[in-house]
Structure 1
Amino acid sequence: MNDDNSLPLVTVRALAYNHAPYIRKCLDGFIMQKTDFKFEVIVHDDCSTDGTIEILKEYAAKYPDIIKPIFEIENQWNKHDGTIGRIMNKYTKGKYIAWCECDDYWIDPYKLQKQVDILENNPDVQLVYTGFQTVDEKGNAIQIPYYVRNAKKSRSGKQFSKLICSNYIQTLTVCGRHSMKLDEESINSPGADYDWSIFLYASLKGDLFYLKDITGCYRINPNGMMISKAKQTTNAMKTIFEYYATLYNDKYASNDDWSECMITKYTIALRALDIFKKDKKLMNEFFKKNKIYIFYALLAFPHFFCQLIGKLFNKFISQK
């Protein structure tokens, strides 16, 4: 637990921007948490114009020890310079951090307690993530094949070689150690406040723990940040991938046994061929900077050859 009992053990970080139709559900999910420790919720509002600010002020007045909003006078996200992350870091006091954007919400009143218990009792675990339900704009449960597949990938233990291929962890389900956000490698990472970057760094530093309990709902919102800023997000993902592929080879590969190391490097090479396939310049720069992955990329050619033969065979069969 925190040495200073006056400080919250957990800081929940929530981002709000024009979330008036959804934010009450989100804030209620925070308020209902039943814990044997103090926690705070830092809600950063990025100049909403739809009534979100008024709702936040209402909850802050009613629950001043929990809901602590930050109101901007100009939009910070559009600066694209990490300002929001620096602001949130300044106000984060907890030993542990949980995340939830304000169009998503929690449904398990013991979510934080379950996750903190795991973190307190397992020092090698860097973060705990859980199951979740996808819902539409109105909050109706829906099944999205992409997220169903992601749920099947979820595991406990070492996860870097799997996470470097795709981010199957949903941010609203996560609670992790604040200390990993303070490491220089984490602070200096590109896209340091993108969830995938946070999860990748955690998976380099230790184990992840998957709790199957469904603790929250992820809203499929066509106006959400990741959808509305798809091109910017894609470019950020490429930069994050390159940073962590390089960091793994330069520093962390030596921590793995030889078989795990080879599997991870082979996986990274495969992912590099895929993620940079439409940008040969970036691909050449990546392999020039990380020459070791050229060897593993060459090993991947039989994999792609077999895929091609399979596609040709299936096409031939379908035409008969």
Structure 2
Amino acid sequence: MNNFSLSVVMITYGHEKYIREAIEGVLMQNCNFEIELIIADDCSPDDTESVVQNIIKSHPKGNIIKYIKHQKNKGMMPNFNFAIKAATGKYIALCEGDDYWIDPLKLQKQVNFLETNIDYIMICHGIKELKNDTLKDVDWRFDKTRLKFRLQDYLYQLFFHTSSVVFRNIELPEYINSTKILNGDYAVFSYILTKGKLYYFNESMSVYRIHLGGVTNSPLHKEGIKVFESKKYIFEHLNAITKFKYNKFIKLNFVIENQILLMNLRKNRYSINRFKYWFYKLQYKFLLLFEK
């Protein structure tokens, strides 16, 4: 065994139907290094805990699971921060309780890359999307020929899923713990990418499950004003931390987010805000090409 380890962080709430598949995707990993699986249960109202405890007791690798159930519901962001802070590994991988991994060599492939490419701080891969019992490959990259990305690329478009990510375990800034942040993974990934580059494995090694109980389908996620304010808060801190190194990208992204908010509020597909949105997106894309 190598002398480094990896922490898998799994937050869960009400995932009784799905969490067994999520856990088994982690326990099937074939690695030459030690891993721990941290499951942070945000006081699930269903039998999620029974499913987890049964796996801990019956599975040959059940001993690598560190299960914590909060006595009161913290909310997604505080629970996510709690779980990240509990991670002790050199690397961190993410898999929420309703997603799952399908490649037993996923972690080994990703860690091998990070071990031999020190200028990369994070690695992700392609995914499959599961919706209404239909499984299909999806690729969210704006440029499907590229494998190497930077912070400004991520700010332009969210092109990877949390279940695909492995990153170096670095100390995160205090602002990420703020209750003003609605989308925790966005805050974490954008900060991490100020420290290094991202590599994309062109393989589908995990499944993103879309269902009515998922976070991206919850009413909270659809409250555009809260999402806008959350990103504004993140942008302000990114600028401060990087001494405005990415300011032109952040300013343009802020304008784009403002157009998205206006479109959502007016619920008008063909409003002037939609034309402005595409105009600013085009500006951003040209800026990326110029910076490449």
Same fold (TM over 0.5): yes
Residue number in structure 2 paired with 1:13:
9
1:245 to partner: Cα distance = 5.7
Higher strand share: 2
* CA distance in structure 1 between the aligned counterparts of 2:125 and 2:166, rounded to whole angstroms: 9
CA distance in 2, matches of 1:279, 1:221: 24
Percent identity over paired residues: 30
**Counterparts of 2:132 and 2:17, CA distance in 1:** 9
What secondary structure is seen at the aligned counterpart in 2 of 1:10?
A: strand
Which amino acid letter does the alignment assign opposite residue 184 of structure 1? P
1:56 alignment partner in structure 2: 52
Q: Does 1:121 align with 2:121?
A: no
1:17 deviates by: 1.3
Match of 1:104 in 2: 99
Unaligned runs of 5+ in 2: 263-275, 284-292
Q: 2:215 maps to which residue?
A: 225
Q: Which amino acid aligns with 1:53?
A: E
Instruction: Point out the structure with max Rg over C-alpha.
Output: 1
User: For this pair of structures, how many residues does the alignment match?
Assistant: 264
2:135 partner letter? A
Where do 1:54-93 residues align within 5 Å?
54-62=50-58, 63-77=61-75, 82-93=77-88
What is the 5 A alignment of 1:274-293? 274-277=256-259
Counterparts in 2 of 1:121-270, with a 5 A limit?
A: 121-138=116-133, 140-142=134-136, 147-150=138-141, 152=143, 155-179=146-170, 182-184=171-173, 187=176, 191=181, 194-228=184-218, 229-231=220-222, 235-236=226-227, 238-244=229-235, 247-248=238-239, 251=242, 254=245, 265=248, 267-270=249-252
What is the deviation of 1:41?
0.5
1:95 aligns with: 90
| 1:38 and 2:34 are equivalent in the alignment | yes
Bigger share in helix: 1
| Distance in 1 of aligned mates of 2:174 and 2:118 | 20
Change (3 A) 1:114 1:49: same
Contact persistence 1:191–1:240 (CA under 8 A): yes
Report the Cα offset of residue 31 of structure 1: 0.9
CA deviations over 1:74-95 (Å, ceiling 9, x no partner): 11117xxx53134213421101
The answer on whether the counterparts of 1:131 and 1:151 sit within 8 Å (CA) in structure 2 is no
Distance 1:19 1:149, change over 3 A: same
* 1:258-314 CA-partner distances (Å, limit 9, x unpaired): xxx6xx71x43432223124779xxxxxxxxxxxxxxxxxxx99x57x99xxxxxxx
Secondary structure at 1:199's aligned position in 2?
Answer: helix
- In the TM superposition, residue 13 of structure 1 has moved relative to its aligned partner by 0.4
Note the alpha carbon deviations across 1:189-229, whole angstroms, 9 max, x for none.
Answer: 76397111122112211110111111111011121122212
Aligned partner of 1:160: which letter?
L
Partners of 2:44 and 2:251 lie apart in 1 by 42
| Distance change >3 Å, CA 155–CA 242, structure 1 → 2 | farther
Query: Do the aligned partners of residues 104 and 137 (structure 1) sit closer, same or farther apart at CA in structure 2, a change above 3 Å counting?
Result: farther
CA drift at 1:233:
7.3
Residue 197 of structure 2 aligns with an amino acid whose one-letter code is: D
For the 8 Å contact 2:41–2:70, the answer to whether it is kept is yes
Give me the whole-angstrom Cα distance separating, in 2, the residues matched to 1:244 and 1:46: 28
Unaligned residue ranges in structure 1 (runs of 5+): 255-260, 281-299, 308-320
Report the AA paired with residue 158 of structure 2: N
Distance 1:193 1:36, change over 3 A: farther
Contact kept in structure 2, 1:133 and 1:141, CA below 8 Å = yes
Normalising by the residue count of structure 1, what TM-score does the alignment of the two structures yield? 0.72
| Shift of residue 188, structure 1, vs aligned partner | 6.0
Amino acid at match of 1:273: V
